[in-house]
Copies of this chain bind each other. A is one copy, B any other.
Amino acid sequence: MKKKAVVLLSGGLDSATVTAIAGSKGFEIYAVTFDYGQRHRWEIKAAKKLAAVMKVRKHLLLKVEMRKIGGSALTSNMKIPKKRKCSEMRKNVPATYVPARNTVFLSLALAWAETLGSKDIFIGANVVDFSGYPDCRPEYLKAFEKMANLAVREKAGKGLRIHAPLIKMAKADIIKKGLKLGVDYSLTHTCYDPAERGISCGECDACILRKKGFKEAQTVDPVRYKK
């Protein structure tokens, strides 16, 4: 019997790649997507499409009322930063940072993992081409893993792992890896501030990092950009 893995599938490029990686390692995939009141709800549609075509055993969509908490440009009416250079992105934690988002998502993934009898949780966190979010760093993920092992029944906790296979990969390498594993990036959604029909703005941090990645991977990005 295959081992079960819970995979955080936002619908973006990284999480699609992680889903493919978990599958290539022989795990049976239980993908979870969060409807947390994000401005770019379009990514939820992308997650559904990805779950339908990838080898996902079960896809769980969970609502989390993070808009009631706010504190981020993604969950309130704050402005999304645009046209920033990559070097700028790392200087300060940007307005798109959502307080404790990965902690909330990993906690719910942990709840599902314990219920399923899974000891493996996959997340697409990355510290190379990223926006300086504190909850993407390896030391944070290590601390979460340690906490998770104590949080659940002894049997469930022992050896529970948070896998972040992209953590130190450049965006271009993530894309190359995904293409090798057959990921259809036309189904993914990355933009924080999409226009009608999910067309990417091309100017938010997420778009800029994605475009840079495809350029460096010397391959065509199949999603449409406004700019």
Most buried by B among A107, A110, A111, A115: A111
What residues of chain B lie closer than 8 Å to A140, measured between beta carbons? 147, 150-151
Q: How many residues of chain A get a CB closer than 8 Å to chain B's CBs? A: 44
- Give the shortest distance, in Å, between A96 (CB) and chain B (any CB): 13
A195 at the interface (CB under 8 A from B): no
CA distance A99 to B6 in the complex (A): 14
CA distance A88 to B19 in the complex (A): 42
Binds B, one of A66-74, A183-191, A218-226: A66-74
Is B99 a contact partner of A115 (Cβ separation < 8 A)? yes
What residues of chain B lie closer than 8 Å to A98, measured between beta carbons? 111
Most buried by B among A93, A107, A110, A153: A107
A62 at the interface (CB under 8 A from B): yes
Binds B, one of A43-51, A131-139, A166-174, A204-212: A131-139
A179 at the interface (CB under 8 A from B): no
